Chains A and B, each alone.
Chain A
Amino acid sequence: MKREIIFLSAVILTFILAGRINSQVVNRNQPPLLPPPSALNLPAIQQFVLSNGLKVYLMEKHEVPVVQLNVVVKAGIADDPAGKDGAASMTAAMLTEGAAGKSSLEIADAIDFLGARIYAGPGYNYTDIALHTPLSKFNDALRLLADIVLRPDFPANELNRKKKERLTNIMQWHDQPTAIAGIAFNKLLFGSNYAYGKPAIGSEETIKGFIPSDLKNFYDKYFNSTNSFIVAVGDIDKDNLKKDLEREFGGWKTGEANNNKLHDAPQVEKTTVYLIDKPAAPQSVIYIGRIGLPRITPDYNAVYVMNTILGGSFSSRINQNLREKNGFTYGASSNFSFRVAAGAFTASSSVQSEVTDKALSEFFKELNGIREPVSADELERAKNYVALGYPGNFQTVRNIAAQLEEKIEFNLSDDYFNKYISNILSVSNQEINTAAQKYIEPGKMIVVVVGDKNKIEDGIKKLNLGELKNLSIEDVLGKIPQID
């Protein structure tokens, strides 16, 4: 149905224009001056409540006929019952394994045939059951989503299958240096009894112990209309969505809101280096960090910009130093995980084994350096990168839904999106410096290195960063799981 037409008149017109332009002299000695950025005009966030109290947030977006609809339940990894690590994660995984009398294969077949996708996965404090579908399949897909969320069956045979799959995942972590480093870092930083310190799927022991009632109990406690909300973004209007949701979710039982509290984990008091031997590894995986700060804090914007300068962009100090200046790595970065309770500050990279000590030394140089005042130029660049790039987060329905979810989960103000750019641009040099002094303490860090001990241990010792402890992969991950 394509039309291909050559407009002769247009060709002639453009000829004339072209002549004029090419008579200009192009001055390349300065980058061109840019006009001011355009404003980001977002559609309004519409809200309504279903008859059972379920709150719904909608942003209409009509350019492409697709819909993203996320059911968000306020319960996650942090709500795993004692001795049942992995319960939230397994509950989410089991939702699509049998519901409303339909089998795992029947559910998969129905979703796949629509060309829709349903993904159920737990975060630390919230579980997302996300639907992404062409608009033309929305009603059928929504019915399936409602089956999965409201009427899961938790069949025992599927649970046994998922258990084997997850035990095999744990087995495969033993092969993966980055997985080992990440799991070790969280465990050593937060402790394995704390929500952020353990793998989401639990351990060999807890996975093997699950029976359907464990998951059913978790589900019954938290999955209700009072403890949940829905975010919808896409080519659908409020009246239609309300009608559709009332039909499919209006009957979801009410219940209690989750009031579990998660307190911050205790802070790191001295630097310890953990060396995990991976013989003959050509690279060392490095994680350095400490406990950061919760999402809701007045320091959020300052910390975000400060980290952008330190290791949050390609031009950041850590990447420029370790990659561009020294060629130690393909990439190096730093990050703050912003969660309900204080998450981790992490600086990380995979570096060539031979330069592990030098890379660590450069990391610490940058961690110390960021505590000094930054130049106005560097601050300006980081603020612009974050603020002016912000509209890029609002292109796809999936990304917009993620933004809306964050706003609701953390109860951000109604004008949060609209004020974000000016809030970032108003961060001052002094605030950056205060944030760095407060949250980056190079003398009190956990350092995890996964690499070839024979090649790297002596060099690391000579740095005198702190006490050096040797760990095995089994110390971190446990023995290779036995799977029947």
Chain B
Amino acid sequence: MKAVIILFLSYCIALQAQLKQISVPYTRYILPNGLNVILHEDHTTPTLTVNMWYHVGSGYEKAGRTGFAHLFEHLMFMGSGHVPQGQFDKLLEAAGGDNNGSTNTDRTNYFEDVPSNALELALYLDSDRMGFLLGAMSPKSVDAQRDVVKNERRQSYENRPYGLAWENIYKNLYPEGHPYNWTTIGSMTDLSAASYEDVVDFFKTYYTPNNASLCIAGDINPEKTLELVKKWYGGIPAGKPAPPIEPPAAKLTKEKVIVLEDKVQLPRLYMAWITPARFAPGDAEMDVLSNIFSNGKNSRLYKRLVYDLQIAQDVNAFQNSNKLSSEFMIIATARAGHNLEEIKKIIQEEIDKIKSQPPSDREVQQAVNQFEAGYLDAMERCGSFGGKADLLNSYYYYTGNPDYFNEDISRYKELSPGDIRAMAQTYLPDNGRVVLSIVPKGKLNLAVNPKEEGK
């Protein structure tokens, strides 16, 4: 039987001269059923991780079923054809392992971090839910996790101060029907509506080996590991190619000013723009700009709002990078006695400034230094979210090349201050953004004034 069609060996990453060279060698295979397999050896501790990405997230949900991809993620831990409910966690714990999963707009990822002797157990459990999930699924198990997920929504959004900001931002930033128009947690109404038939349909459409990528990293023997991967995953039949999503164009051409009241002491301002997709031209520039705006006491927004003027308690700018597009956000909480017009005025001044004058070389270099240091830290562990295995899978999904570490860092190192200014000019328009104020109940006067729209 034809099994292996590609074998890449790749030695990546020569960090810049002053850093010691680091390599993340990996081997890659594609099984006949289409499962992409990435293996990486790291014998630092006798542990390993099994990291599985399914190329589906909340962006693939149907209308009226928001939150479904994430609810489905929960169901993946509820047992499968040969693994009774509850045994997934019990067997892993009995072997000294931990596991988790997460869902975003683009993908759903799962990991099992185990002592290296438990490799085959992790493969057995993970492959069983890929091949035989429906064998254990019932309307009752769907209901049980529906309640858990509703409580996740209560805990992380509804009962958390400012927690409803996100769904209001995304609803206004992207047009109706766009995959990023809703949040991954979804709405209570849609969570209630999800049916057992939806589960079956979603599983058959998206949870196929040909729509997934498996990375195993850590204390492994790659040849033996590949044999075990074939043994446990090789017999799972391929599915039809997953249907691609076809998003309507997303471009904001006005400033949308929104106000929410919440049970909070202090008003908080959110400004959001649609920006270039992950790894697209402009994405790295916006990352660097976020660093220049809010990372450290000397960063522009922090220094003015929090350090010098002391009219804000905190400020945070970041580029949230995703497959179809990204969002650049600036979030600041006003101090007592200050309103969001004051905060917005300062932020606007800094946006105008970066559009008219490039940042200093030192500001850009500092951002690059910090990204490089963060990259080194990621080299320290294979498992969990954000470990080497998760990164290899992430690079594979977003670029087609698991070994994108070097290209990723080079994106930042090659930037000039003028590039930052140019992208700020292009992607931070005053008349194409969402401005959300969350104010204490009854204190609408603290919000950004909607009358200023189109200013």
Contact = CB atoms under 8 A, between A and B. Distances in A.
Contact of A329 (B148, B376, B379): B148
Nearest to A40: B46
B218 to A, nearest CB: 9
Given A384-B94, A388-B95, A391-B45, A22 B3 contact: yes
Contacts of B166: none
A interface: dominant SS: mixed
Contacts of B407: 2
B28 to A, nearest CB: 10
Contact of B96 (A26, A164, A352, A387): A387
B37 to A, nearest CB: 11
B154 A314 contact: no
Nearest to B87: A31
Contact of B155 (A18, A350, A380): A350
B373 A116 contact: yes
B234 A22 contact: yes
Contacts of B147: 326-328, 352
Nearest to B365: A113
A281 B158 CA distance: 8
Interface in A340-397: 350-352, 380-382, 384-392, 394-397
A324 interface: yes
A176 B160 CA distance: 7
Contacts of B62: none
A161 to B, nearest CB: 7
A266 interface: no
Interface string B238-263: 00000000000000000000000001
B372 interface: yes
Contact of B12 (A1, A14, A21, A328): A1
Contacts of B226: 14
Contacts of A387: 96
A108 B299 CA distance: 10
Contacts of B6: 6, 11
Interface in B188-208: none
A55 to B, nearest CB: 26
B18 A330 contact: no
A324 B151 CA distance: 12
B118 interface: yes
Contacts of A397: 380
B interface: dominant SS: mixed
B309 to A, nearest CB: 11
Given A2-B10, A4-B8, A29-B82, A314 B148 contact: no
A469 interface: no
A459 interface: no
B63 interface: no
Nearest to A394: B45
A82 interface: no
A380 B94 contact: yes
A385 B7 contact: no
Interface string B356-390: 00000010011001101110110111110000000
B139 to A, nearest CB: 14
Interface stretch (B120-128, B316-324, B340-348): B120-128
Contacts of B310: 161, 164
Nearest to B371: A115
B13 interface: yes
A395 B45 contact: yes
A350 B148 CA distance: 11
Nearest to B156: A330
Interface in B37-88: 42, 44-47, 81-83, 86
Given A115-B373, A387-B96, A389-B96, A164 B335 contact: yes
B370 to A, nearest CB: 5
Contact of A395 (B47, B96, B128): B47
B13 A1 contact: yes
Interface stretch (B109-117, B169-177, B421-429): B109-117
B298 A109 contact: yes
B230 A22 contact: yes
A329 to B, nearest CB: 5
A320 B115 CA distance: 24
A314 B8 CA distance: 38
A315 interface: yes
Contacts of A391: 45-47, 115
B10 A4 contact: yes
Contacts of A281: 159
A171 B266 contact: yes
Nearest to B8: A4
Contacts of B365: 113
21 contacts: A1-B12, A1-B406, A2-B407, A5-B8, A7-B7, A14-B7, A32-B120, A64-B379, A64-B380, A105-B298, A112-B298, A134-B372, A134-B373, A168-B335, A283-B158, A325-B144, A352-B151, A352-B154, A381-B93, A384-B96, A389-B97
Interface of B: 1-14, 18-20, 22, 29, 42, 44-47, 81-83, 86, 89-91, 93-98, 113, 115-118, 120-121, 124-125, 128, 132, 143-152, 154-156, 158-161, 219, 223, 226-227, 230-232, 234-235, 263-266, 295-298, 303, 307, 310, 313, 335-337, 362, 365-366, 369-370, 372-374, 376-377, 379-383, 403, 406-407
